[in-house]
Structure 1
């Protein structure tokens, strides 16, 4: 015979369960770190202070620690949920946001300690190469569903490019060779993946509404490629300019498709943050090299846009965390 105790509903935490913590939320670390780097460059281009750069960088560190602890607890308590996410043909791509986040944080901590920068970069480099190896090995097994060729696939494609982005200024002699290896591998993989994804977007059904923000990742190979290339060759030449302008052109096209009220907010929106931050960084560095007023205005406008976008994303994420929707399942 059932008792009244048996009929009582199970108690749940007011904020939900860590089981539902999405790995794509690590994209917030990438966006915040990228924003910090952009404002750091702006301090030299426009003479702006470093207060915003420092604030964004510290926020990126705090967010990474919080997410790492949270996702580590999820892994310990719900290992099957993490395994399902890692092996998922689309969600699994977002594990690259963890390793890229570590790489970008190495540039953030450089302000405080060169030794810490080198350690964090080395850790991020090893993890990024390992994850890219796993991702490519998985794809080469064949029989990939064309519907799974989504923009998130590019995360593993541009991941090794970020090794050169974060490590281009490191003084170790061996770091230059690692950067060359990473940039070359990342460039080829990014080109192949971009072609696959673009073909799928043209010839197959449109992406679901919830996946539309991830389309901004399509500009990443060009803008991250610009930053990696400039760090490797230590100059901004015509090829670098071509990469920058192609990314800018795609940004103008994609912005009209992504920024619509009909697309509900979710953590997937963080996918826009780092590509836009990379575009802003590239624009600032290109403007500094060319020293023309039009490019300076463009760089300033892009910096303002990405700053507003990330602030909005941060506030709205905190809101859904507090009201239980983020971890509610």
Structure 2
């Protein structure tokens, strides 16, 4: 009888928080409105961009058709523009809703998906528009550090409810790890030091927050079913950490291999908890996309380094699984857009 009150409180911390969390008193929770557009939808850009970069790696290492990766990259740019315009409309029409979302103990962390999207898109457009890529990366770096500073400052104020320690906390810190992942090809003289700074911040904070989140998952009530997809975020610090570290170190070594294998282990642990028929679909499902994309990219890079047949098979399986998962997410997202459920 003690569990029920806690369970009923958890949904307010979901990836797609209910309307009352961002609506003035008296608002109708079932009314379709742009004010209900979740910032977590930017996670779709992260996943699609990561898929595009994975297919580029598959082209260079496995001879996959180049058109696949480039077409997916163009789609990622289009999705980013569409979601950005929609969210700017929300900001213009309902600034108080955006403010409330930013201050929410869970949803506020998903503003990191905007910064990560900019970083990943810089890598997507880099071969075509180097100047645009440099501008996107620079803005993404500034936004990432600013958000990470704000989030950590909030936590250090104290009196934070332990039940709020959910996987979404990791997002702003993983964003800093994406700086060296995407900054390796940037020509600016100051990039190397920024990559080192970002790697230092991301590695330490990711480990600290990972420990706090696992402690919450072990000692408190399970996450509500609607938050189950966010468990996949626990894979990200290690998969992205592998990519970031190998770029900073200039290659894959034994420590990078340890990061990759732990990411693979975490994926095996959380995947059965995420991919269940009982988990309802919402925009929050896009939380699975980028961690899976990071793992697929890491697997392709590690397989290329080891040149081992089993590792190549693993990398291909992860790439195909990622492609299918994102295709399903895209179709189901279009369906909830068309039936109006996305904005309710």
TM-score tier, shorter chain, comes to over 0.9
Q: Which 5+ residue runs of structure 2 have no aligned equivalent? A: 1-27
Counterparts of 2:39 and 2:325 in 1: how far apart (Å)? 20
Partner of 1:135: 151
Asked if 1:150 is matched to 2:156, the reply is no
Which of residues 205, 214, 219 is equivalent to 2:230?
214
**TM-score of the aligned structures, taking structure 1 as reference length:** 0.94
Q: Per-residue deviation at 1:16?
A: 3.0
Structure (1 or 2) with the larger CA radius of gyration = 1
Deviation digits for residues 137-195 of structure 1, max 9, x if unmatched?
11111111010000000001211001111102222221011000001111000000000
Asked if 1:261 is matched to 2:277, the reply is yes
Asked if 1:31 is matched to 2:53, the reply is no
Partner of 2:209: 193
Q: Per-residue deviation at 1:26?
A: 0.3
Counterparts of 1:55 and 1:313 in 2: how far apart (Å)? 18
Partner of 1:6: none
Which of residues 195, 199, 204 is equivalent to 1:183?
199
Kindly report which structure 2 residues correspond to 1:201-280, keeping only aligned pairs within 5 A, or say none. 201-280=217-296
Q: Which 5+ residue runs of structure 1 have no aligned equivalent? A: 1-11
Deviation digits for residues 255-297 of structure 1, max 9, x if unmatched?
1111000101111100000000000000000000000100000
Deviation digits for residues 80-123 of structure 1, max 9, x if unmatched?
11111000001111110011111100000112111211111001
Counterparts of 1:223 and 1:148 in 2: how far apart (Å)? 24
Asked if 1:282 is matched to 2:298, the reply is yes
Counterparts of 2:312 and 2:321 in 1: how far apart (Å)? 14
**TM-score of the aligned structures, taking structure 2 as reference length:** 0.90
Asked if 1:109 is matched to 2:115, the reply is no
Q: Per-residue deviation at 1:52?
A: 1.5
Counterparts of 1:230 and 1:193 in 2: how far apart (Å)? 22
Counterparts of 1:282 and 1:307 in 2: how far apart (Å)? 15
Partner of 1:8: none
Partner of 2:78: 62
Partner of 1:86: 102
Which of residues 132, 137, 144 is equivalent to 1:121?
137
Contact 1:169 1:231 in 2 (8 A): no
Count of paired positions: 315
Asked if 1:73 is matched to 2:84, the reply is no
CA RMSD of aligned residues (A): 1.1
Secondary structure of 2:109's match?
helix
Partner of 2:12: none
Counterparts of 2:106 and 2:224 in 1: how far apart (Å)? 13
Counterparts of 1:52 and 1:266 in 2: how far apart (Å)? 27
